Amino acid sequence: MENQAPAKKKSVFSGIQPTGVFTLGNYLGAVKNWPQLQDDYRCTYCIVDMHAITVRQDPKQLRQRSLEAYALLLACGVDPQKSNVFIQSHVKTHAELAWVLNCNTSFGQLSRMTQFKDKSQKHPEDINAGLFDYPVLMAADILAYQADLVPVGIDQKQHLELARDIAQRFNTQYGNTFTIPEPYIPQATAKIMSLQEPTKKMSKSDTNVKSFISILDEKDTVIKKFRSAVTDSEACVRYAEGKDGINNLMTIYQAVAGKSFEEIEKDFEGKGYGDFKTAVGEAVADHLAPVRDKWKALMDDKDYLKQSYTDGAQRALAISQRTIDKVYKKVGFIPLG
């Protein structure tokens, strides 16, 4: 009996905004699993700097943040030898495909996008066409790589549905061209809440910096934030209904220390919340230290970063150009050369 060829790995696409550092919640909930993801799938990760300019940016700051975000992906374990990691504006096919998809997207669909309404309210002084249209660019990001799977949070689910609709409409009109992407739902992970309002999810956009941990926070800062975390008056470390603050701290401690809730309760029996908060802060700081150290080393090695994102862009262009060539032929453009 002949050996069967190994099954082709499914492809995953994810775009990351260069507008801030991951929180502890982002890291434990998703980013920590990316190194394993790239072993199981063909992964494409993109710093979406073109999406960032739908809101007015300081050019110098955008360049710096884009580089920092790229380095952060690598520091979190994304390997540019295993995954395709690049910066969106370096790959012209994203914008080229977006224009063709624009001409296959209804105005009505875009007008129903909730994020456009939300961002328009937040930035009434700059309601631009790009802000209205960027879900089509997002669809182009995904469809250019014939992605099978797209990791999405609740706030991006509507945009993935649009990408699916556009792909299906194009396939119906011009023949089979695009893979229809599916949402990637990871295995259940820790849901990390705000340190100051433990009924709310931890978010980097929170105006109270004490409410979230950035994965690049220094050790002293991490411990200080945990010491100021909101708890309750019982002064007993146990997981129970109505103890949102302690439940959140126990969930975090379980995720970084690998201990069960029963072990945590036993370890801190008879001890106060102060001891527990300090222990959680130290455990989190130690857990994040390798990421922080790797990020600093990468930011000091600009030549390596440049080589990595250049190689990534060249590979991304080669892959996405095949899609563009097929799309241009389907819609009736005359090929060059």
- Same-domain status, 103 and 144: yes
Low-confidence ranges of the chain (pLDDT < 70): 1-7, 117, 120, 123, 153-155, 187-189
Residue 203 lies in a domain: no
Same domain, 124 and 248: no
63 Cβ partners below 8 Å, 6+ apart? none
In a domain, 38, yes or no: yes
Q: What is the DSSP letter of 53?
A: T
Distances in Å between the Cα of 296 and the Cα atoms of 22, 30, 83, 291, 301 are 15, 22, 21, 9, 9
204 among known catalytic residues: yes
pTM of the model: 0.88
Catalytic residue among 32, 119, 225, 277: 119
In this prediction, residue 126 carries a pLDDT of 72
| 306 and 277 in a common domain | no
pLDDT given for residue 6 in this prediction: 58
pLDDT in tens, 166-202: 999 999 999 999 999 999 877 656 789 999 999 999 9
Same domain, 134 and 239: no
The CA-based angle 227-20-314, given to 5 degrees, is 140
Query: Domain check: are 41 and 69 in the same one?
Result: yes
In DSSP terms, which residues pair with 84 in a beta bridge? 44
Q: Give helix 219-227 / helix 273-299 axis angle, nearest 10°.
A: 150
CA gap 336, 188 in Å, rounded: 49
- Catalytic residue status for 119: yes
Three-class SS string for 56-84? CCCHHHHHHHHHHHHHHHHHCCCCCCCCE
Residue 282 domain-assigned (yes or no): yes
pLDDT at 207: 87
Residue 72 and residue 103: Cα distance in Å, rounded?
36
Q: What are phi and psi of 192, to 5 degrees?
A: -100, 130
Closest among 280, 89, 296, 289 to 192, alpha carbons compared: 280
Of 201, 259, 326, 330, catalytic:
201
Same domain, 264 and 115: no
**Residue of 32, 92, 200, 204 marked catalytic:** 204
Our count of domains for the chain comes to: 2
Answer yes or no: do 236 and 179 share one domain. no
CA dihedral 291, 296, 297, 299 (to 10 degrees): 120
* Containing structural domain, residue 214: 209-296
Q: What is the pLDDT of residue 13?
A: 95
CATH of the domain at 168: 3.40.50.620
Residues 97 and 217 in one domain: no
The answer to whether residues 156 and 133 belong to one domain is yes
